Amino acid sequence: MITEQDLQAAIAECQGVSKPNRETCMMLAAFYTIQDHLYPPNNIISKEPNYSYASEPAEQVRYDSGSEFSEAIRERDIEEILPILDEAMDAVKTLLPRLYNGIMRKLTE
């Protein structure tokens, strides 16, 4: 089994490449994914149950642009959607940093 130190070394090696190519970015994304699954940060692991104690149901997303994405999230709770989008944004940040920065600018305006 790969150790956390081995993963960190591999990540550092990929990040140290002066002119990263597609393969380097894919390897970096894979290393981060492996690290997240094998060695999650302590603050992600929750001992709380995966259900709500609220008396009312969680708010559902009401978004419909006619796209495949809006169809997929219809009738889903925001708590289900955000972790998926967060993981996707990590991949965008690694593979397409300019796109990521543009998205983040739009979200913070």
The C-alpha atoms of residue 27 and residue 11 are separated, in whole angstroms, by 8
Label residue 48 by pLDDT band (50, 70, 90).
low
Tens digits of residue pLDDT in 3-13: 888 888 888 88
CA atoms within 13 A on the CB side of 55: 0
Alpha helices in 16-96 (DSSP H): 22-38, 68-73, 78-95
Tens digits of residue pLDDT in 13-37: 888 888 888 888 888 888 888 888 7
Tens digits of residue pLDDT in 58-104: 566 666 788 888 888 887 888 888 888 999 999 999 999 999 899 99
Q: Long-range contacts: 9-14, Cβ < 8 Å, 24+? A: 11/35
pTM, whole model, 2 decimals?
A: 0.43
Between the alpha carbon of residue 97 and those of residues 29, 40, 91, the distances in Å are 13, 23, 9
